Structure 1
Amino acid sequence: MEKQKKKKSHFPFRLNLLFFGVFFLFSVLILRLGFVQIVYGENFKRDLERKEDITVSNPVPRGKIFDRDYQVVVDNVPKSAISFTNEGFSQTDMLKTAANLAKLIEQKTDMISEREKLDFWMMKNPEQADAKISEQEKALYANKKLTDQDLYKLKLARITTEELNQLTPNDLEILAIYRQFSKGYKFIPEMVKNEGVTEKEYAVVSENLQSLPGVETTTDWDRSYAYGNTLRSVLGNVTNSGEGLPADQLEHFLARGYNRNDRVGKSQLEMQYEDVLHGTKSKVKNITDKAGNVIETETVLAGSKGKDLVLSIDMDLQSAVDKIIEEELWAAKRWPGTRFTDRAYVVLMDPHTGDVLAMSGKKIVKDRKTGRAAMIDDALGTFTTTYSVGSTVKGATILTGYKTGAISPNTYFDDAGIKIKDTPIKKSYAYLGRLNEITALKKSSNVYMFRTAIRIGKGHYEYDKPLNFLNKQAFETIRNSFASFGLGTRTGIDLPNEQTGFKGQSRLPGYLLDLVIGQYDTYSAMQLAQYVSTIANGGYRMQPHIVKEIRESASDGEALGPMLKEINPTVLNTIDVKKEWLRRVQVGFKKVMQEPGGTAYKFFKGAPYSPAGKTGTAEAFYDGPLRSHFGKEPPPVMNLSLVSYAPSTHPVVAMAVIVPWAYDGKDDNRANLKIGRRVLDTYFQIRKAQAPD
């Protein structure tokens, strides 16, 4: 029993010892914390107060642009660069660094202004500058009659040309570098030199970074274009590091976290998809003391490259269409009456999806250097310029006639000319006899369309008598119907600055007749392509788009990144017509190209792809770049157009061609038909070559 008691007595002793040890350690910890708080608390508080967190965003490379077959269209080309980040340096420090850097690199001085030279001379010669102030002026300054700014202006004004010429080439290089240093904002890198940095310069600056505070050797980039000028006007441009954010959008970009010197898309595709192409910038947190010196740097966000765009454009097809337009434009210029002929436009579209397969425009301009005529890209003009297009709109006129009850299938009219009192007779290019709507499309009867318009307006026509309409909304009725096809309204193309066209203002009855034959309002090539696609696909107005996919940037070694978004076909509206009516217009379009007597038959007969379409010739007034030569009355010219789709059943492509101011006089060069036939031939040849075996 005694042994058992002895064994039990050790347990409380050990437990008490453990509790005592824990108590002792906690006591030491509490004493230590109290000591730190009481003795060093103020020091830590001061350290905390003197620190400031500043988060800086650094740009990343822009996304690439591919065509529909994933061929690179726009890429980034890296180039060596030298940058400077102002970490709170004084003016004296920056001048010293600029002088050291000037010994290592060559810097262009052509951008230095006269005022900058004056300022620099005063920084370099402060005593001489002060000596330019008289004792009287110093007294006025002491009595607060003159300000620091007043004295500074007086010094500037008194610097002589001889004194300014004392600045040596080396001084100017230092100034040019200092100028770039001063442009930057605190903690935001500013490019000092990113053009023509030699390997030697890059290496020697890298070796001397310790003596160049704020200077870094880095990599900048330029956009490169694999297809040269092809589609160049649509792809758009990016600002350079000197331009930075566009002034008119400065607040917009700053509010979204951009730096003032960030490079952004400033036009067309680059601008429209800036949010996608720009990427996510890396973020670095700089911890500074009250003096502004960086005492610690921490990466907050690594950032990621811009996302890539995949276009609906087939660049091989686009290049081929460009070449065709160039060749046919130059050929047309050899015809008489083509003094104003200087441009042509073609749009190819998938009628079922709205994919723009090619959008080509070419313009002849005078080369500033040589003074000779040169061809430039004007693909932009396919949706930013509009023209009277003539009879290509007659399919919409017939369908509008059906919808309003003005005509019904197989309605006949005689093609005799229309004569309204006090106006010239309005007629077709020749008397075409008595015809229905299908033959009217095939032979392009103007009179048939006039008769339809008169019925839409609820007018009563008598030869050489006034014409009035009971339906005062006839213009709106026809224009609203045309808009349902895409004529005279925005097509919805995913690019900025689309133009809807000019709408004639007069409501005189004769102009309604002009409207239905495409000689009153104006339309773009993109609108014509959407219109003919609507007829081709069974009545669905598809939204055209040139971006097909958005992808994540590719990882190293990969050609393409993962799919982020696919642009699905969008139906904007249906034209609300009976299938029977639409089929009759489609038959008329087929006869235009495939049956003798059709206005395009001579150019498209034998085409193996069974085309359908409509030709157009519009008498218009020239309003191009030479208009100022003719005063208030520019001469009349003829615009040529063509819309088509193929095959006539189950179409895979829709096409629009416009050749503005194709000729003046009577010599029709048929440039629209020549271009159209070659383009469709080329499309199907490329399609066949690309088809899998």
Structure 2
Amino acid sequence: MKKTHVPFRLNMVFFVVFVLFSILILRLGELQIVFGDDFKRELQRTADVTVNNPVPRGKMYDRNGNTIVDNSPLNAITYTKSQNVTQKEMLDTAGKLAKLITMDTSKIPIRDKKDFWITQHPKEAKAKITKKEWAQYNQKKLDDTEIYQLELDRVTDQELNSFSKEELTTLAIYRQFNSGFALTPQIVKNKNVTADEYAIVSENLENLPGVDTTTDWERKYDYGTTLKSILGDVTTSDQGIPKELLDKYIAQGYSRNDRVGKSYLELKYEDVLHGQKAKVKSVTDKSGKILSTETVSEGKRGDDLVLTIDMDLQQQVEKIIEEEMWSAKSKPNTGVMDRAFVVVMNPNTGEILSMAGKLIGKDKNGKTVMNDYASGTFTSSYNVGSAVKGATVLTGYQTGAIKPGSIQLDEPLKIKNTPIKKSWKTFGAINDLRALQVSSNVYMWKTVIAMAGGKYVPNGTLNMNTAKTFNTMRQSFAQFGLGARTGIDLPNEMSGFQGTENNLPGKLMDLAIGQYDTYTAMQLAQYVSTIANGGNRVQPHIVKEIREPVMDSNTLGPIIEEIEPKVLNRLDMKDAWIKRVQEGFRMVMQVGDGTATSTFRSAPYSPAGKTGTAQAFYDGSVKSLHGTEVWNLSLVSYAPSTNPEVAIAVVVPWAYSGNSGPGINNLIGRRVLDAYFDLKKKRQLTEDVTGTEQPTTQTSTNTTQNSQQTGQ
């Protein structure tokens, strides 16, 4: 029988299949076990990268819901750098974009121009290196950095000036491309982007890898320069984060080119105003090319600030200061007066209703103008004179130097080896209330002499514990906020300057009448508020509420935080003593020959307060102007005298020279209080008619006063 070979052939087939499967299994095992981690890393390089995109800042409103600071939309052109993009690719894209838009090229640094010239002229740049230097390079005596520095040093001005306008535009764009992180949109241009530029770039995006068109924003100030110095500034996208704050903000998730607050409210409340960035996920391949993008979260505009400021009142106060300063400057002896400050405060809550400062200066054309200097209300300090005498009397009560009703003889003081010291007028026997009413210097001096354990004897010397009493006085004054930071929620507050000759009796006497240490207008407002409210030193604040933003709307969102009144300390004094000084302050403005009755007696809102005049410290010393002295004027006041609802402080440094001048402190103070109560009345009338409060403006009554004398 003939044998068949089919089983053998099948066996061969099975064997071959077995071998092939074995090889496949071995190969798969090798790929998974030996090269698995490598392939896993390759897959991970095709990753999801999430970046944060900036959002508009929070807005600012006044206490009545009027928008003060907003965000104005801007057409913008951006560039997002991919992870592995080359310099040549970026320059190529920048060159294409340069044909479509204009750029400001005036601020390109010389170093960047040199770098760009070397990039554009590599052969010419290398030719600037001598054969000897190349030999040193080959011998490793010079490295790449040193060779490149030699090339930079040898680029001539003529070569730098050879750039065409389009080349400079390309460089300006390239600089913007390079200023951001990979996968993070960077502003290329957001100022003066024309509609044509925006449209043509949008039409050519497919030929401009990384470039996009979008909407950006800039800060908009609805009230112009009003309160501008307090609102603060924000850095530009070019400036980014200030160097001194870079580490802090980078640790908080900021990008280098993020816009941040750099002064006052914008800086103080940066964490509130900055908002939550939008999160965008970019899917990239292993080369870094963006394959797709997806918005993870839309982000949220920064929270809004509601300020304690009443912008209607603020505008009126600023106008009053300007009008009274220009009016005063038209009178004799006012040559050095160049500034004035006003703080309007709720004495019970510490809410700042208005803080205004004006400074006369020159604009860029040399024209004399009045500039905003509201920050000076708490960053500059001056001798304020007799306005502080309420604190002196209360310190006298506290130390036992005097008692309520104590009578002292106001007479010229003849102290051995000292010029005669006297009040602006001799008043004879007076008590504490009369001393405040007419602003007796002698009463204050005799009080502080007794406080220091001394006794006045005509033509004798004063044996006093001066140094200890200086400490006692300053510690007591600090209870009112005089010579201490008020705690206002703004940066850079100063506490004032203390005189250093603390062993001289005459300087202690000067301190008692406000002519030694210096104080700010904000401190004066806190001081008079402490007296007005019965002894609570309340912390002043300019932010009233923090609210959630309402997107694409000017309406106020829900309250996140409401700033509650904060009492920093309570005067360690009897209520009866404080009421005694309150009565003295009322007499200053409403009774007989009080130093401010000519200005305030007719006021229907029952004001109380204290005036002040002090020798001015001008350019670091008492200034002599044509043989006469220069004076600071001040005023502290509150109203009504019972249950006060508003307190003010006025400071006018270097108001006049000579023996007399315009009483600009009282003129400003009366008009400011008039403005407050007139505005309140008109709003109440409007509310009664319409059922809603309608902020309005008004014209205040102007009053006049011819002069003030030292110590008033």
Normalised by the length of structure 1, the TM-score is: 0.91
Q: Which residue is equivalent to 1:26?
A: none
Q: 1:584 aligns with which of 553, 569, 580?
A: 580
Q: Which residue is equivalent to 1:642?
A: 635
Deviations 1:302-352 (A, max 9, x none): 321100000000000000000000000001111211111011111111111
Q: What is the rounded CA distance, in whole Å, between the counterparts of 2:557 and 2:551 in structure 1?
A: 7
Q: Does 1:95 align with 2:91?
A: yes
Q: Does 1:653 align with 2:646?
A: yes
Identity %: 56
Q: Which residue is equivalent to 1:666?
A: 659
Q: Secondary structure at the match of 2:480?
A: coil
Q: Secondary structure at the match of 1:155?
A: helix
Q: What is the rounded CA distance, in whole Å, between the counterparts of 2:627 and 2:487 in structure 1?
A: 33
Q: Secondary structure at the match of 1:659?
A: strand
Matches within 5 A, 1:590-669: 590-623=586-619, 636-669=629-662
Q: Secondary structure at the match of 1:662?
A: strand
Q: C-alpha displacement at 1:176, in angstroms? A: 1.3
Q: C-alpha displacement at 1:123, in angstroms? A: 1.1
Q: CA RMSD in A?
A: 2.3
Q: Does 1:176 align with 2:172?
A: yes
Q: Does 1:352 align with 2:348?
A: yes
2:498–2:517 CA contact under 8 A, matched in 1: yes
Q: C-alpha displacement at 1:431, in angstroms? A: 0.3
Q: Which residue is equivalent to 1:277?
A: 273
Q: What is the rounded CA distance, in whole Å, between the counterparts of 2:313 and 2:197 in structure 1?
A: 44
Q: C-alpha displacement at 1:569, in angstroms? A: 0.7
Q: What is the rounded CA distance, in whole Å, between the counterparts of 1:538 and 1:628 in structure 2?
A: 36
Q: What is the rounded CA distance, in whole Å, between the counterparts of 1:414 and 1:109 in structure 2?
A: 76
Q: Secondary structure at the match of 1:473?
A: helix
More displaced stretch, 187-196 vs 643-652: 187-196
Q: What is the rounded CA distance, in whole Å, between the counterparts of 1:192 and 1:403 in structure 2?
A: 66
Q: Match of 1:408, as an amino acid? A: K
Q: What is the rounded CA distance, in whole Å, between the counterparts of 2:448 and 2:459 in structure 1?
A: 17
More displaced stretch, 297-306 vs 232-241: 297-306
Q: What is the rounded CA distance, in whole Å, between the counterparts of 2:133 and 2:480 in structure 1?
A: 77
Q: C-alpha displacement at 1:81, in angstroms? A: 0.8
Q: Which residue is equivalent to 1:495?
A: 490
Q: What is the rounded CA distance, in whole Å, between the counterparts of 1:502 and 1:622 in structure 2?
A: 14
- 1:254/1:630 CA distance change after superposition, 3 Å: farther
Q: What is the rounded CA distance, in whole Å, between the counterparts of 2:384 and 2:525 in structure 1?
A: 12
Q: Which residue is equivalent to 1:76?
A: 71
Q: What is the rounded CA distance, in whole Å, between the counterparts of 1:630 and 1:668 in structure 2?
A: 16
Q: Secondary structure at the match of 1:484?
A: helix
Q: What is the rounded CA distance, in whole Å, between the counterparts of 2:43 and 2:416 in structure 1?
A: 92
Q: Which residue is equivalent to 1:401?
A: 396
1:348–1:655 CA contact under 8 A, matched in 2: yes
1:398–1:449 CA contact under 8 A, matched in 2: yes
Q: What is the rounded CA distance, in whole Å, between the counterparts of 2:424 and 2:675 in structure 1?
A: 31
Q: Match of 1:432, as an amino acid? A: F
Q: C-alpha displacement at 1:113, in angstroms? A: 2.5
- 1:157/1:396 CA distance change after superposition, 3 Å: closer
Matches within 5 A, 1:336-375: 336-369=332-365, 371-375=366-370
Q: What is the rounded CA distance, in whole Å, between the counterparts of 1:665 and 1:535 in structure 2?
A: 33
Q: 2:541 aligns with which of 540, 545, 549?
A: 545
Q: Match of 1:544, as an amino acid? A: P
Normalised by the length of structure 2, the TM-score is: 0.89
Q: Which residue is equivalent to 1:189?
A: 185
Q: What is the rounded CA distance, in whole Å, between the counterparts of 1:75 and 1:673 in structure 2?
A: 36
Q: Which residue is equivalent to 2:413?
A: 418
Q: Match of 1:451, as an amino acid? A: K
Matches within 5 A, 1:380-391: 380-391=375-386
2:615–2:622 CA contact under 8 A, matched in 1: no
1:336–1:667 CA contact under 8 A, matched in 2: no
Q: Which residue is equivalent to 1:430?
A: 425
Deviations 1:553-591 (A, max 9, x none): 014456111110100111111112212111111111111
Q: C-alpha displacement at 1:189, in angstroms? A: 2.1
Q: Does 1:535 align with 2:528?
A: no
Q: C-alpha displacement at 1:37, in angstroms? A: 7.6
Q: C-alpha displacement at 1:595, in angstroms? A: 1.1
Q: What is the rounded CA distance, in whole Å, between the counterparts of 1:628 and 1:45 in structure 2?
A: 80
Q: C-alpha displacement at 1:471, in angstroms? A: 6.6
2:466–2:505 CA contact under 8 A, matched in 1: no
Q: What is the rounded CA distance, in whole Å, between the counterparts of 2:335 and 2:497 in structure 1?
A: 24
- 1:187/1:689 CA distance change after superposition, 3 Å: same
Q: Match of 2:132, as an amino acid? A: Q
1:456–1:471 CA contact under 8 A, matched in 2: no
Q: What is the rounded CA distance, in whole Å, between the counterparts of 1:240 and 1:663 in structure 2?
A: 42
2:624–2:630 CA contact under 8 A, matched in 1: no
1:519–1:619 CA contact under 8 A, matched in 2: yes
Q: Which residue is equivalent to 2:202?
A: 206
1:622–1:634 CA contact under 8 A, matched in 2: no
Q: Secondary structure at the match of 1:650?
A: coil
Q: Which residue is equivalent to 1:19?
A: none
Q: Which residue is equivalent to 2:507?
A: 511
Q: 1:443 aligns with which of 423, 430, 438?
A: 438
Q: C-alpha displacement at 1:460, in angstroms? A: 2.3
Q: Does 1:112 align with 2:105?
A: no
Structure 2, unpaired ranges of 5+: 1-23, 689-712
Aligned residues: 658
